[in-house]
Structure 1
Amino acid sequence: MKLAIPDYPFKAYLFDCDGTIVDSMPLHFVAWGKALREWECAFAEEQFYAWGGRPVDEIIRALNEVNNLHMPVDEVLRRKEALFVEMLPQLQGIPEVLEHIEHSYGKIPFAVVSGGPRRSVEASLNTLGIRDRFDLLVCAGEYTKGKPDPEPFLKAANLLGIAPEDCLVFEDADPGIASAEAAGMQWVKIDSPTVRAAR
């Protein structure tokens, strides 16, 4: 299935990573479950997907608040990411997105704009052998406000030297789409594997 790209002469493509380029969300959910069980903290799958695109440290703080816990943010973040990296050999790409990346590579600049830590994003892209396709990565910890705030996408556009309205965003999660809209950018929604399989 090919992606439906808006008819506009875009000058840059900005991609979310998890759930957009790589089918990593199920692996991230397993890693979250293992890391949080060590602190007896629940994280429902529905809530996990609703918070897609939010930085990991922000999710841990929110879970602390919701569950009246005091999990050490940096420690839980490192543990969760380490568990995810262990599962990288299982990682698959999103076929239609990978196809579009290969088709468009070299024509306009690409950036990854992610709520994940740079180490995790780099590891995912390297696993698929596509790290070299991207001119720029903007990851968690490299901006002040995460998605749905427009800051991550606006920072990427600024670093690329491209006007926001000339950037097209590829996203799977509602917070990311809200971020793109707030940044004044058009977007393409990437359906989850479950939705794609049901078609």
Structure 2
Amino acid sequence: MSGPSSSPDKQALLTRLSTGNFDAFLYDCDGTLADNMGAHKASYRAVAAMYGFELDDAIIDELAGWPIVQVAGEIGKRYQVDFDPAVFAQQKNILYEGSFIKETKPIEFVVAHLKAHAGKVRIGVVSGGSRASVSKTLRLLGISQLVEVLVCAGETPNGKPFPDPFLYAAKQLSVEPSRCLVFEDGIPGVRAAEAAGMRWIRIDHL
């Protein structure tokens, strides 16, 4: 992710990479616009501890972009712990929004990129997080008023890595998928963008 000294260089690089015949930019939220994955991992670990096991953060990186309830279900399978994924996800969201979300910081070069292009192309945010959490995060980043369309977990038949969330965002913006550019940090999100017929930029590779 970005550091304070590298943000201007990364912002310039991102601007060059995103130059093209695009009508919409679709940004992931957590780990792409918001430097908050550490806080999300902490909330996952805290809930796992409630169920008596120690969670390896690597699974959260692997499944970045999945809806939280599906991440919870996968955690239960891999750790062979019996819990209701919906309850686990709810507990995680309560902890995150109550205690950890305050740690959110912007990934400055991506937020600056969004601000610079708002009004020039259509702007959407497509996330595997809950609408309440993502909306609060965008307000903390000071960009909620620039986002025209927000698509969150549970709002499409399938989440990332399926194309549904990105296709739904494009439909709401009345933009052809081929004219959308996606900004993502996770492999599931990249796969979703590809399946939707959209070009993409992997933020954590910049």
Shift of 1:78: 1.6
Supply the AA of the counterpart residue of 1:135.
E
Q: Which residues in structure 2 correspond to 1:34-183 (within 5 Å)?
A: 34-85=46-97, 86-183=99-196
CA contact (8 A) 2:131 2:153 kept: yes
Whether 1:8 and 2:20 are equivalent positions in the alignment is: yes
Supply the AA of the counterpart residue of 1:89.
K
CA contact (8 A) 1:88 1:127 kept: no
Whether 1:31 and 2:66 are equivalent positions in the alignment is: no
Relative distance call for 1:7 and 1:129 in structure 2 (3 A) is closer
Partner of 1:87: helix, strand, or coil?
Answer: helix
Partner of 2:136: helix, strand, or coil?
Answer: helix
Supply the AA of the counterpart residue of 1:174.
I
Distance 2:84 2:53 in 1: 12
Out of 109-118 and 83-92, give the one that drifted further: 83-92
After superposing on structure 2, the runs of 4+ consecutive aligned residues of structure 1 that deviate more than 4 Å are: none
Per-residue deviation, residues 13-49 of structure 1 (Å, max 9, x unmatched): 1010000000111110001000111012332111210
Supply the AA of the counterpart residue of 1:90.
E
Supply the AA of the counterpart residue of 2:142.
G
TM-score by length of 1: 0.92
Out of 179-188 and 67-76, give the one that drifted further: 67-76
Aligned residues: 193
Distance 1:69 1:190 in 2: 33
Per-residue deviation, residues 149-180 of structure 1 (Å, max 9, x unmatched): 11111111111111000000000001101111
CA contact (8 A) 1:114 1:138 kept: yes
CA contact (8 A) 2:66 2:128 kept: yes
Out of 105-114 and 10-19, give the one that drifted further: 105-114
TM-score by length of 2: 0.89
Out of 46-55 and 74-83, give the one that drifted further: 74-83
CA RMSD of aligned residues (A): 1.4
Supply the AA of the counterpart residue of 1:99.
A
